[in-house]
Structure 1
């Protein structure tokens, strides 16, 4: 419902989960915790206390975060009050992830715990390079959402299939839905 205060943003890598989570934070005043910041330690290692930090997040009264990382997806889903699913076309996601990755690399942006995007040529050699990962895993969100609907049939899920739908939905944040409709 619109009164949800624990919100997950689902979608594949590069779909815009963090961007939308930040918009929800701005519009609704719900604190956003970037899951990548909890997950990545120095040298792209997994932070040893990742799951503990996610449990602490789930214990809070309100939050918005990305729904990713298999180790904590069930925990996040069990505490969520709503899910916003970015089910964007592959071409849109790939354009976004390529632009984001190139920008981060060219500007040598510091990400989490001092990490930076690897050299662009690594897309050719590393199977799990973020661009290859985004391509390979693009359809997995639909399977995860289908499973979520089976385990949490009570959980409202907003499915956004285009940038236009994302923009229209964002425009409604903080306002009562038209006609008394719910998410």
Structure 2
């Protein structure tokens, strides 16, 4: 486990697990959303593919994302391990709602200096809406990739509940 991709739906805890894994393993961690959103008004990084290509050419890394479409194949091609947080909605939704509420109330600065806003809660791009609407699509995409013979060399770990993930992490 030297090139680790942590995947799952929005709110599953990908970043939290990736950070904990980085701390335990001393592997460098890269937050995909911070790479993707690099400016005010949720500006998108025009050099994302190049930036991710440089990071994933390194011998060791942890990245927390299924991957934005422009870099998804690159991430999956270069990873040696995929950790899939495949949690049910009853776990995901309270997490993402609490996180977004906290971020909005505290006006926490996020990627590229952006913040979640009360108005943003009405957008289909808001993390809560995204988590709800994309869970099935994300699960199907990850399932397809995990079973794809092209990615057969990947070590794949699938956790269906946070207790499983915590037990695995504690065993490292």
Report the TM-score range of the alignment, normalised by the length of the smaller protein.
Answer: over 0.9
**Residue 18 of structure 1: how far off its partner (Å):** 0.3
Task: Show the counterpart of 1:69.
Answer: 68
Determine if the alignment matches structure 1 residue 11 to structure 2 residue 28.
Answer: no
Larger helix percent: 2
Conservation of the 8 A alpha-carbon contact between 1:12 and 1:140: no
Question: Taking structure 2 as the reference length, what is the TM-score of the superposition?
Answer: 0.93
Q: Which runs of 5+ in 2 are unaligned?
A: none
Task: Show the counterpart of 2:91.
Answer: 92
Take 2:93 and 2:56, find their aligned partners in 1: how far apart are those partners? 31
Would you say how many aligned residue pairs link Structure 1 and Structure 2?
A: 168
**Residue 152 of structure 1: how far off its partner (Å):** 0.7
Task: Show the counterpart of 2:46.
Answer: 48
Task: Show the counterpart of 1:36.
Answer: 33
Query: Which of the numbers 24, 28, 47 marks the counterpart of 1:27?
Result: 24
SS in 2 for 1:110: coil
Over 4 Å off, 4+ runs: none
**Residue 145 of structure 1: how far off its partner (Å):** 2.1
Take 2:115 and 2:48, find their aligned partners in 1: how far apart are those partners? 19
SS in 2 for 1:48: coil
Structure whose alpha-carbon radius of gyration is higher: 1
Take 1:86 and 1:168, find their aligned partners in 2: how far apart are those partners? 13
Take 1:105 and 1:71, find their aligned partners in 2: how far apart are those partners? 29
Q: Which runs of 5+ in 1 are unaligned?
A: 174-183
What RMSD, in angstroms, separates the aligned Cα atoms of the two structures? 1.1
Take 2:22 and 2:38, find their aligned partners in 1: how far apart are those partners? 24
